Each structure stands twice: as C-alpha cells, then as structure tokens.
Amino acid sequence: ETGVTQTPRHLVMGMTNKKSLKCEQHLGHNAMYWYKQSAKKPLELMFVYNFKEQTENNSVPSRFSPECPNSSHLFLHLHTLQPEDSALYLCASSQDTAGLSYEQYFGPGTRLTVT
Amino acid sequence: QKEVEQDPGPLSVPEGAIVSLNCTYSNSAFQYFMWYRQYSRKGPELLMYTYSSGNKEDGRFTAQVDKSSKYISLFIRDSQPSDSATYLCAMSDRGSTLGRLYFGRGTQLTVWP
C-alpha cells in the first residue's frame, strides 16, 4: 500500500448505529487530519493530530470521536449521526503541522450516507 | 464573508482551450497558496503551490498570485480531457502551526474532445 488509504470506501448507516472510519498513511508523516466534504461547500477541517496529539477540534459535534493510536493510523468513530452528516469524509497527512503543512496528502475518502 | 471565494462552475471547454480558474480571499495574512485537483471518486492531490506573490509555471499549468488584489489564478494551457476534474484553491496564513488550510468550494471543469 502506498500513500493514504481509507476504509471503508462507502458506508450506509442508520441514525442509531455505531461505526468507525479508518485511515492509514504510509508516508512517514507526523500529522493527520479529518475533513468533511459536502456538495458545493468548501472542505471543512474537523480534527488535526500532530505526533498523536490532537491539536485542533474545529467545533465538531461529539457524535464524531477521533482516535489516533500512532502517527500512521487515524480513526473516526461515529454514533447517533444525523442525515446532514452524510458527506465524503477525507483523511489527509502531512510531514507535520508547521512549515510544509500546506503539502497535505489525501486519501480517497469514505462516502457516508446516514439514513 | 467567507474566507475564500471560488466559483463552483461547472466550466466546460473544448480540448486545447486555455482554462482560467480563480479564487478571491479576504484574509491578508495568507502567504501560501495552493491548487489541488480532485478527480471523481478520489481525494484531492496537490497540483501547485506558490509562496507570496508572483507566478509559478509547471508544464501546462501556471499559478498566479496577486496579493494586492487578494486574487489567485490557475491557468491551464492546451487543456486535455484528462484535466477534467474539480480544482480546489487553498490557502494558509504565515506562521500557522496548526496545519489549517482554507479551501474554496472547488470549480468543476470538463474538457471535451
């Protein structure tokens, strides 16, 4: 595997379900990000981790819970979601969160549909 | 007022045309300017970046930054059907230590043969 991988690629869940999104980066980076991409809206930064420490939580509802066990893996735990949470969830990584942080490498995303 | 404004299009051009994609912004602290390309069912990939004002050329792509007007552009010469994608502009402020990028909505481009 190379670059940034995400699983699953597609997910349909009911509002009462609990599911997790997984991201893995094979680039030796130290920073990882979760973004939400909705149609016709800019990418929304959700969480930032640098060296496994969360450095930003962009006012994300508590029904989204991130976990970063090491610099290569990032999870997004989902529970009691709302239909408006349906979107493409993108994971990204960068060398760190300063300097070269503009060079972020994205995974292919998980297309989430909440029914 | 949104941080970054970008016309979502869609933009449709014939093969070989010169394409101009633009973004405006309001935050004068932005110093790093990027263009990402996103193909259907894929994540964005960094296409070009520039620091501060000026031009940068890479093959058929030219990025321009006019900080006095808070305006950035991406030009694609001799456009190809393989250039069909959504183009996202992104910006970062000087000294940012949080990795925050401010994205535009993206412009959907179709180049038809």
Q: Which residue shows structure tokens 């997790």? A: A20
A59 part of contact set with chain B, CB < 8 Å: no
Q: Identify which of A41, A56, A107 has the shortest CB distance to residue B105.
A: A41
Q: Give per-residue pLDDT as tens, B61-91.
A: 999 999 999 999 999 999 999 999 999 999 9
Pairing label, strands B54-58, A64-70: unpaired
CB contact under 8 Å between A104 and B101, yes or no, is: yes
pLDDT of residue A99: 57
CB burial of A95-106 (b: ≥16 within 10 Å; e: otherwise) equals: bbbeeebbebbb
Which strand (E) or helix (H) includes residue B58?
Answer: strand B54-58
B6 close to B107: Cβ distance less than 8 angstroms: yes
**Mean pLDDT confidence for B7-29:** 94
Which residue do the tokens 């535009």 mark? B104
CB proximity B100 to A under 8 Å: yes
Please name the residue that has the structure tokens 């699953």: A8
Q: Does the distance separating the beta carbons of B99 and A43 come in below 8 Å?
A: no
Q: How confident is the model at residue B7 (pLDDT cuts 50, 70, 90)?
A: confident
What was the pLDDT predicted at B35?
96
**Is residue A5 within a helix (H) or strand (E), and if so which, with residue range?**
strand A4-7
Q: Tell me what pLDDT residue B94 has.
A: 61
Find the CB nearest A33 among B42, B99, B102.
B99
What pLDDT is recorded for position B54? 85
Asked whether residue B2 carries a pLDDT value surpassing 70, the answer given is no
- Picking from A31, A50, A106, the nearest residue to B44 by CB comes out as A106
From B88, B99, B35, select the one nearest A47 (Cα to Cα): B99
Which chain B residue has the Cα nearest residue A9? B41
- From A33, A98, A107, residue closest to B97, measured CB to CB: A98
Interface residue B98 vs chain A (CB under 8 A): yes
The mean pLDDT of chain B is 91
Chain B contact probe: residue of A102, A103, A111 with most B CBs at under 10 A: A102
Amino acid making up residue A44: E
Number of Cβ atoms within 10 Å of the Cβ of B70: 17
| Residue B47 near chain A (CB below 8 Å) | no
Q: Which residues contact B97 (CB under 8 A, 6 or more apart)?
A: A97, A98
Three-state DSSP at A102 gives: helix
Q: What is the pLDDT along chain A (115 residues), one digit of tens a residue?
A: 679 999 999 999 988 889 999 999 999 999 999 999 998 889 999 998 988 788 777 789 999 999 999 999 999 999 999 999 999 999 999 887 665 566 889 999 999 999 9
